Structure 1
Amino acid sequence: MKLFLPKQHGAWAMTIIPFWLGVVDGGFLWEHIPFFIGWIFLYLATYPMLLLFKKKKIEFYKKWTMIYMIPALLFLLFPLLKMPSIIMFGLLMVPFFLINAYYTSINKDRALINDFSAIFAFSIAGLASSYLGKGLISYETILIFIASVLFFIGCTFYVKTMIREKKNIQFKWISWGYHALLLIISLTFGYWIVAIAFLPSLIRAMIFYGKTLSPMKIGIYEIINSTLFFVVIIIQIVFLK
């Protein structure tokens, strides 16, 4: 049986990076392993679940929603039993899921608001994994959450300038200005390590703009950029501790 998998390959970085940054921040517990597995299955389940709102191939999407949702719920029982209050993070994700469902139902999956909503939901997973480790949401945790949200919003702007908005000069300046602003704000508040984490994003947004890159090459460069962000933010976490 061929697996039914999400087509948004960039979403995998958003699924993985905030979660493990939260683990680094909060401290690793063995429950993080089933938590992460459950989180992956939950992400896989939301893809066919959202497609149900298109009201096409209902039975097919129902089947795949259940195939992924059942193991998701089973694995997520481990962190829930460890710390029942962690369910609040799942509830925080619900409004963002509803936004995604709305945009899916009107066939505007690529709308910016839809992308931003997904980014917030993915980043909330980082809050949850950190909370599981230390039982509270600290200032450092909030900083990591904000950094993750801002980074992936930048990725969204960049990818759009390379594909769907590549002929939109106004969008180019929005992307460049946004990435530059991230550096300025980080340095203004004294977070020079965070500024370093954002720097490769600005460089690639400017250097690659206007170049003809295949979606595969764009994806590969984004994996490299996301890895750099992940490593540097870990250094920031260690520095704050």
Structure 2
Amino acid sequence: MKLFLPKQHGAWAMLIIPFWLGVIEGGFVWQDVPFFIGWIFLYLATYPMLLLFKKKKIQFYTKWTIIYIIPALLLLLFPLLKRPSIVLFGLSMLPFFAINAYYTSKNKERAFMNDMSAIFAFSLAGLAASYLGQGALNIQALIFPFLTSVLFFMGCTFYVKTMIREKKSNKFKWISWAYHLLIVAAWFFSGFWIVAIAYIPSLLRAYFFYGKKLTPLQIGVYEIVNSAIIFIILAIQIVTLN
């Protein structure tokens, strides 16, 4: 049986980076392993679940939703049993899921607000991972991994749109360039110079790659490299602060 998998390959970085930054911030516990695997299955389940709102191929999408959601729920019992209040993070994701469902039903999955909603939901998983480890949230946890992830993936969204769907929009180009520059400057002047360094590759690729004839595959490969760079640098920053 061929697996039914999401087509948004960039979402895998959003699935991984905030979660494991949260683990580093909150401290590793063995429940993080089933938590992460369950988180993957939950992501896989939401893909066919959202497609149900298109009201097409109902039986097919229902089957795959059930196939993925069962192991997701079983695995997510491990973090839930350790910290029952972690369920609040799951509940906080529901409004973002509703937004995604709305845009899916309208066949507007590429809408900017739909992307932002997904980014916030994925970044909340980082907060949940941090909370699982230390049993509390503080300002540092809100910055790492939540805020850093939200800002990074928003930049990725701007960049990818300037390279594909908005590549002929001069206005969107300047929005992307200004955003990336302001993020680096904001982190630098707030005293987080290591974090500022982490965002510099994003700034450089947003500027120098703009207008280049890169294939979607090439864009994706460069984004994997960029995601790896920012994860490593942010992880170093978290370790130095803890």
TM-score by length of 1: 0.99
After superposition, the C-alpha distances for 1:61-85 in whole angstroms (9 at most, x for unaligned) are: 0000000000000000000011100
* Cα offsets for 1:100-150 (capped at 9, x unmatched): 000001111000000000000000000000000000011111011101000
Cα deviation code 1:163-205 (max 9, x no counterpart):
0001111100000000000011111211101101110000000
Aligned to 2:69: 69
Within 1, Cα distance between the matches of 2:137 and 2:43? 23
Give the letter for the 2:234 counterpart: I
Pairs aligned (count): 241
Shift of 1:239: 1.9
Amino acid at match of 1:223: I
Structure 1 residue runs without a partner (length 5+): none
Q: Secondary structure at the match of 1:37?
A: helix
Query: Structure 2: how far apart are the matches of 1:14 and 1:93?
Result: 14
Aligned to 1:120: 120
Deviation of 1:240 (Å): 1.5
In structure 1, what residue type is equivalent to 2:164? I
**Identity in percent:** 70
Q: Tell me the CA shift for residue 93 of structure 1.
A: 0.3
Give the aligned partner of residue 176 of structure 1: 177
The amino acid that maps onto 1:157 is F
Partners of 2:134 and 2:183 lie apart in 1 by: 29
The answer as to 2:195 corresponding to 1:194 is yes
RMSD: 0.5
Tell me the equivalent position of 2:23.
23
Once residues 222 and 9 of structure 1 are traced to their aligned partners in structure 2, the CA distance between those partners, rounded to angstroms, is 10
Moved segments of 4+, more than 3 Å = none
* Equivalent in the alignment of 2:92: 92
Q: Residues 25-75 of structure 1: CA distance to partner in whole angstroms, max 9, x if unpaired? A: 001011000000000000000000000000000110000000000000000
2:79 corresponds to:
79
How far apart, CA to CA, are the structure 1 residues paired with 2:25 and 2:202? 23
One-letter amino acid of the structure 2 residue matched with residue 104 of structure 1: T
Q: Where does residue 216 of structure 2 map in the other structure?
A: 215
Amino acid at match of 2:189: T
* Map 1:11-50 → 2, pairs under 5 A: 11-50=11-50
Q: 1:228: which partner in 2? A: 229
What is the letter of the counterpart of residue 186 of structure 1? W
| C-alpha separation in 2, matches of 1:56 and 1:13 | 29
Q: Distance in 2 between matches of 1:229 and 1:100?
A: 26
* Aligned residue identity for 1:114: N
Aligned residue runs from structure 1 range 141-156, under 5 A = 141-144=141-144, 145-156=146-157
